[in-house]
């Protein structure tokens, strides 16, 4: 049964009424957008939000616009009651969980494109993705009008796309990134990890170990190409079908060749069986 204790609203009108009350008393409001199936990664962002602000809103909405027809929208894990319990435990102030029609009325016609940053990495194999994310996040930011919105470094390209959109559209919100939370063996927490079979789950940390090793090699001054070649081989050996494995500038995602002399991160996405995993790490010694 759904938790009765945590305040949950379904409509923009209800959300705005509560936010307006908080504004009157001068509260600093933080939004943490999620698609639910909450894990420690999400909860860490809520804790960060509580440190930064006075009132924390968590949105839970599985956004159809960021899934292609052949992707996992239908099977995406939905654990709403458990999510509410977890959010209650860490004293979230408000959950905004709109039904689909509240977000996308039948004649919805607007689409936001963030050019440049949305190309490459996840944008190549998921060309629909960042437009769907930017559009729904723009709506959530307008609906809630928070002072700050928090996104995970886990989806680093997404974080940069949203920060750029917020700046370009003068949304008047600060976009803050929160560090990646990992399982003990290094696997980045993700709602999609639930799809992994026991055997895949054992192999899954190889993704993180591989990019970590590449990042350390780069910090030692090694060249990018051999490190990436080795990484590809290692992931293939572990049964991954690699989508991309790349080193990019951490501020603007420009590709980096040769040796790293700037703020850089290693990015990877790969299929393990039917599950798409993504991860990224900073190159030690390079600025974030």
Under the binding rule (CB under 6 A), the answer on residue 208 touching ligand AMP is no
According to DSSP, residue 127 is labeled T
Closest among 280, 111, 285 to 210, alpha carbons compared: 280
> 30 vs 181, which CB is nearer to ligand AMP?
181
Tell me which of 39, 42, 88, 128 is the catalytic residue.
42
- 144 binds ligand AMP per the rule CB under 6 A: no
- Smallest distance from ligand AMP to CB 158, Å: 6
The set of residues, in sequence order, having a beta carbon less than 8 Å from that of 255 and lying 6+ positions away, is 120, 246, 247, 248, 249
Smallest distance from the beta carbon of 15 to ligand AMP, in angstroms? 18
Instruction: Please report whether residue 47 would count as binding ligand AMP according to CB under 6 A.
Output: no
Region from 78-86, 89-97, 135-143, 187-195 binding ligand AMP, contact rule CB under 6 A: 187-195
Q: Does 42 bind ligand AMP (CB under 6 A)?
A: yes
Name the residue nearer to ligand AMP (CB basis): 23 or 82. 82
Write the DSSP string, 223-274. -HHHHHHHHHHHHHHTTEEEEEEEEEETTT--B--SS--SSEEEEEEEEETT
Smallest separation, CB 80 to ligand AMP (Å): 13
The beta strand positions in the chain, using DSSP E, are 8-9, 29-34, 55-60, 94-96, 148-152, 174-178, 240-249, 264-272, 275-282
Cβ atoms 224, 198 nearer than 8 A: no
Q: Is 88 a known active-site residue?
A: no
Q: Which residues are paired to 264 by β-bridges?
A: 249
Q: Which one among 96, 151, 240, 267 touches ligand AMP, defined by CB under 6 A?
A: 151
Strands (E), 35-156: 55-60, 94-96, 148-152
Answer for which of 118, 191, 275, 286 binds ligand AMP (CB under 6 A) is 191
- The answer to whether 58 contacts ligand AMP (rule: CB under 6 A) is no
Q: Which of 55, 154, 164, 203 binds ligand AMP (CB under 6 A)?
A: 154
Q: List active site positions.
A: 42
Q: By the criterion CB under 6 A, which residues form the site for ligand AMP?
A: 34-35, 41-42, 44-45, 151-152, 154-155, 178, 180-181, 188-191
């Amino acid at each position: 049964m759904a938790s009765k204790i945590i305040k949950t609203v379904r409509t923009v009108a209800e959300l705005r009424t509560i936010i307006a009350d908080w504004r009157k008393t001068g509260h600093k409001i933080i939004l943490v957008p999620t698609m639910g199936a909450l894990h420690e990664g999400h909860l860490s962002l809520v804790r960060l939000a509580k440190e930064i602000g006075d009132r924390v809103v968590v949105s839970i909405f599985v956004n159809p616009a960021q899934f292609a027809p052949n992707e996992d929208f239908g099977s995406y894990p939905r654990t709403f009651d458990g999510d509410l319990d977890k959010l209650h435990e860490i004293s979230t102030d408000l959950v905004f969980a709109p039904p689909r029609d509240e977000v996308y009325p039948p004649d919805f016609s607007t689409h936001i494109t963030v050019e440049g940053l949305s190309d490459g990495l996840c944008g190549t194999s998921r060309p629909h993705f960042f437009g769907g994310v930017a559009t729904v996040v723009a709506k959530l930011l307008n609906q809630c009008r928070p002072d700050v919105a928090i996104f995970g470094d886990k989806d680093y390209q997404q974080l940069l796309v949203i920060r750029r959109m917020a700046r370009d559209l003068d949304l008047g919100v600060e976009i803050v990134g929160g560090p990646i939370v990992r399982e003990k063996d290094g696997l980045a927490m993700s709602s999609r990890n639930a799809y992994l079979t026991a055997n895949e789950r054992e192999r899954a940390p190889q993704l993180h170990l591989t990019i970590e090793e590449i990042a350390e090699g780069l910090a030692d001054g090694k060249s990018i190409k051999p490190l990436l070649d080795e990484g590809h081989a290692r992931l293939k050996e572990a049964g991954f079908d690699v989508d991309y494995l790349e080193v990019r500038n951490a501020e603007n995602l420009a590709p980096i060749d040769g040796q790293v002399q700037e703020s850089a991160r290693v990015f990877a996405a790969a299929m393990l069986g039917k599950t798409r995993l993504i991860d990224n790490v900073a190159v030690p010694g390079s600025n974030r």
